[in-house]
Structure 1
């Protein structure tokens, strides 16, 4: 298996507004509706804190499988913020001791409304992962995993489904 790339870029086109994407990324009432359903809290200013909290399902899964996870599963600091177009932050995953021991990485969200396609936005996530190989592997996801190991590709797909249909992928069916 090859080493994960130190800079990973993920992109999705969503039929919605930049403001709705921004809210879905930065508002804990929205972050619990897609992906891994972990509420994320931001102080939306340079130097502001970022924190992602474990949800009850994560704690229950850990307990059933004989391990614990911290209440705060991710943390970082806001570097740059320009609502609803740009959010740049440091980012570290604390759920696993290996990723928690790695340095902070840099995560950038860019939201662009397409001039050629009104009502459609391109959301790009760029994750700079230098010095963090375990985190790089985790966020790259596994093409063989149907959900939990999907990384950023899973998160973006689920966010797109939620914003376009009103239901996350796990809710459809």
Structure 2
């Protein structure tokens, strides 16, 4: 993992996963997979430029925040090159402050590395979104807000390699 700070306007996280690029791509883009790791919000992608991206709030999220709507993160697909690259906009809708910061840019890059291992690099461009930058950096973990991209990618790695998320 690459270390990031809450003040970084571009945060880069990297993880190595013993899996094929196709399997990692599926874990990112398929709601059957992406709802099993991270914060458990299944997400749907329309994998074409201009296509919609939506991550759906779970019942647990809604119980924690009764004002939360059905969509917790939304955006648009800018580029999809399976199984190598996905570029999208990304907006956190779970609280008004991060929602008002607007859309940020998120790039997923998957590369074969060595002996059946893939390198997954997530680049999150957060200019103009300081609240979101702090949240996704993991700086608010001690408050119960979660470990940001480091946690999400660690959980994805665990699920793909073992079939079970970190806290399952």
**Contact kept in structure 1, 2:47 and 2:77, CA below 8 Å:** yes
How far apart in 1 are the matches of 2:109 and 2:50?
A: 19
CA–CA separation in structure 1 for the residues paired with 2:19 and 2:60: 29
Gap change, CA 1:158 and 1:88, over 3 Å in 2:
same
Which of 20, 25, 41 is 1:38 aligned to?
A: 41
Partner of 1:140: 137
Aligned residues: 164
- With over 3 angstroms needed to count, the CA separation of the structure-2 counterparts of 1:148 and 1:167, relative to structure 1, is farther
Task: Quickly say closer, same or farther: Cα 1:17–1:128, change in 2 above 3 A.
Answer: same
1:118 CA displacement: 2.1
Match in the other structure for 2:68: 69
Matched, 1:52 2:43: no
| Match of residue 103 from structure 1 | 102
Moved over 6 A (4+): none
Alpha carbon RMSD of aligned pairs, Å?
Answer: 1.6
Residue of 128, 131, 143 corresponding to 1:131: 128
Corresponding position of 1:164: 161
* 1:154 match: secondary structure: helix
Does residue 32 of structure 2 align to residue 29 of structure 1?
yes
1:119 aligns with 2:104: no
Structure 2 unaligned spans of 5+: none
TM-score relative to the length of structure 2: 0.93
